């Protein structure tokens, strides 16, 4: 274990920031980033699942037989996704309706399973929580950034507030499916450009 | 019959699972570099998705709703899908080892292919009847296969071109997917 606790946390914020460095979990990234609010909500929900499942997987890593580990990880993740789903229905119902099908789909988000398999099953609980928190916050940041770009260009608003004057013609392409792909592709290009310097 | 036809068209083209509903993007980008793997992946998804669609519908209608435990839906569905994928994996390993080697990591990843889970959830949310659920599962899977194979065809050509360095690989892949998605967007006015 060469890395310190802080390093495990911060690598999720830049070095391995999903979905740009780790190209995993693209579906929620494309689907929910129509606005900053949705992106932020989805990011927080995913972070919660990521931290809890990382913690539990890491606690149980010596108990789970390696042959059926994936099935066990998925059940652990599905449990926390159900928790998030019920919590959101209770406390954030409008957001729950907005995100819809993508909340139960956190269970099949490759990032969550990927971290459980690649990190939490090999490291102790404290490091795993740090890793989950870092990756989760990185994911939230990316989602919010993408949501901001698409919302500002596509709707002319930022977090529901008007950004441009009334003469602004919204660039609706950005909030539709094709815009999501192109926008993510171009952001990935910018990240590569920034990383190669 | 007319309704069924409309459902098929809308699942394959208008609400295409990858290009309009944003589901199943990881295998879409991951297996689209070679035509061979793309075709294999498309076949595997069509098979798994059809089976999963039917089984989850039955489980949901008779078991979860019957017992009043719908909140366990996520867990029940993912377990069905995971065991199905395991089954397909064992089958391919025994009978078509070449395809098994070609699909590599993406076969177990069908478990976490959100297209499969997503279609199962859509079937339940739209309150489809059994026949509708069956048809929508097949049609969505065909839509996935169609999008994947079209995309691979384009991507094989793009690799030959001179792409600027920061745009290479996934980045240009996403932009290409955006253009194909734009083409599918035109189907929106059909029904």
Q: What is the pLDDT of residue A158?
A: 78
Residue A95 has pLDDT above 60, yes or no: yes
Chain B positions touching A181 (Cβ under 8 A) are 174-175, 177-178, 181
Using the Cβ of B154 and the Cβ atoms of chain A, whether some distance falls under 8 Å is answered with no
Averaged pLDDT, B111-133: 86
Percent of chain A with pLDDT over 70: 95
pLDDT at B35: 86
Q: Which of A182, A35, A12, A32 is nearest to A105 (CA)?
A: A32
Output B170 or B146, whichever has higher pLDDT.
B146
A/B interface, count of CB pairs below 8 Å:
123
pLDDT above 90 covers a percentage of chain A that reads: 19
B163 CB within 8 Å of a chain A CB: no
Q: Position of tokens 């199962």?
A: B120
Residue in A with minimal Cα distance to B108 = A70
- Judge whether residue B191 has pLDDT over 70: no
Task: Measure Cα distances from B129 to A50, B58, B134 in Å.
Answer: 35, 10, 9
The verdict on a CB contact (< 8 Å) between A189 and B23 is no
Residue of B nearest to A180 (CA): B178
Asked if B113's CB is within 8 angstroms of A26's CB, the reply is no
Which range has the worst mean pLDDT, A191-195, B48-52, B134-138? Answer: A191-195
- By residue count, chain B amounts to 191
Question: What is the predicted pLDDT for the residue at B190?
Answer: 74
pLDDT above 70 covers a percentage of chain B that reads 95
Cα–Cα dist B141/B84, whole Å? 15
- Cβ contacts of B23 on chain A, cutoff 8 Å: 27, 31, 105
Name the H helices within chain A. 5-10, 26-32, 36-59, 69-91, 93-99, 110-115, 125-154, 177-196
What pLDDT score was predicted for residue B144? 92
Cβ-Cβ contacts under 8 Å, B165 against chain A:
192, 196
Judged against a pLDDT cut of 60, whether residue A190 lies above it is answered with: yes
Select the residue of B20, B79, B166 nearest A192 (Cβ to Cβ).
B166
pLDDT at B84 over 70: yes
Identify which has the larger pLDDT, A11 or A73: A73
Q: What is the mean pLDDT of residues B135-147?
A: 92
Region B142-167: mean pLDDT is 88
Q: Do A188 and B170 touch (CB under 8 A)?
A: yes
Q: Residue A56: pLDDT above 80?
A: yes
Tell me the backbone φ, ψ of residue B53, rounded to 5 degrees.
Answer: -60, -45
Please give, rounded to a whole number of angstroms, the shortest distance from the CA of B32 to a CA of chain A. Answer: 14
Measure the CA–CA gap between A35 and A152, rounded to whole angstroms: 8
Across chain A, mean pLDDT equals 84
According to the model, what pLDDT value does residue B110 have?
76
Q: Is the ipTM of this complex over 0.90?
A: no
Least confident of A88-97, A160-169, B108-117: A160-169
* Other CB atoms within 10 A of residue A188 CB: 23
Point out the residue among A23, A177, A186 whose CB comes nearest to the CB of B20.
A177
Chain A residue with CA closest to B70: the answer is: A82
Confidence of residue B165 (pLDDT cuts 50, 70, 90): confident
Residue with tokens 């699972």: B17
**Is pLDDT of B28 > 80?**
yes
Query: Alpha helices of A92-124 — where are they, by DSSP H?
Result: 93-99, 110-115
The pLDDT, as a whole number, for residue A1 is 46
Q: Contacts of residue B112 in chain A, CB cutoff 8 Å? A: 108-110, 113
Nearest-Cα distance to chain A for B168, in Å, is 8
Residue B81 dihedral angles phi and psi, to the nearest 5°:
-65, -45
pLDDT of A55 over the 90 cut: yes
Chain B residues touching A71 at Cβ < 8 A: 79, 82
> Is the pLDDT reported for residue A197 higher than 70?
no
Integer-rounded Cα Rg, in Å, for chain B is 17
Facing residue for B26 by CB, picked from A24, A101, A189 = A24
Q: Model confidence over A112-142: pLDDT tens digits? A: 888 888 888 888 899 999 989 988 998 898 8
Question: To the nearest whole angstrom, how far is the Cα of B127 from the nearest Cα of chain A?
Answer: 14
């Amino acid at each position: 274990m060469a890395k310190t606790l802080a390093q495990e946390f911060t690598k999720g914020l830049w070095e391995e920031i999903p979905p740009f460095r780790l190209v995993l979990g693209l579906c929620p990234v494309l689907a929910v980033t129509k606005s900053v609010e949705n992106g932020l909500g989805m990011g927080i929900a995913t972070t919660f699942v990521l931290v809890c499942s990382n913690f539990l997987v890491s606690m149980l890593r010596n108990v789970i037989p390696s042959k059926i580990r994936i099935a066990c990880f998925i059940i652990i993740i599905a449990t926390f996704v159900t928790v998030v789903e019920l919590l959101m229905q209770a406390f954030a119902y409008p957001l729950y309706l907005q995100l819809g099908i993508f909340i139960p789909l956190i269970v099949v988000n490759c990032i969550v399973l990927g971290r459980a398999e690649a990190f939490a099953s090999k490291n102790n609980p404290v490091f795993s929580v740090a890793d989950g928190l870092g990756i989760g916050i990185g994911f939230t940041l990316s989602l919010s950034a993408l949501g901001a770009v698409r919302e500002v260009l596509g709707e002319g608003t930022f977090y529901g507030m008007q950004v441009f004057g009334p003469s602004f013609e919204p660039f609706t392409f950005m909030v539709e499916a094709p815009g999501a792909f192109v926008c993510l592709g171009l952001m990935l290009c910018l990240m590569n450009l920034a990383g190669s310097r | 019959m007319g309704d069924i036809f409309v459902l098929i068209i809308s699942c394959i083209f208008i609400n295409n699972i990858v290009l309009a509903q944003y589901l199943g993007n990881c295998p879409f980008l991951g297996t689209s570099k070679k035509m061979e793997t793309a075709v294999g992946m498309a076949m595997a998804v069509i098979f798994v998705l059809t089976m999963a669609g039917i089984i989850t519908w039955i489980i949901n209608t008779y078991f979860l709703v019957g017992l009043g435990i719908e909140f366990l839906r996520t867990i029940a569905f993912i377990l069905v899908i995971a065991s199905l994928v395991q089954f397909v994996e064992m089958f391919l390993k025994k009978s078509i080892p070449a395809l098994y080697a070609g699909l590599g990591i993406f076969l177990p990843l069908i478990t976490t292919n959100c297209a499969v889970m997503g279609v199962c959830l859509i079937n339940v949310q739209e309150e489809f009847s059994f026949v509708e659920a069956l048809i929508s599962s097949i049609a969505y899977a065909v839509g996935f296969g169609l999008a994947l194979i079209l995309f691979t065809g384009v991507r094989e050509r793009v690799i030959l071109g001179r792409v600027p360095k920061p745009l290479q690989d996934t980045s240009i892949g996403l932009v290409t997917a955006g253009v194909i998605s734009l083409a599918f967007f035109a189907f929106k006015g059909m029904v």
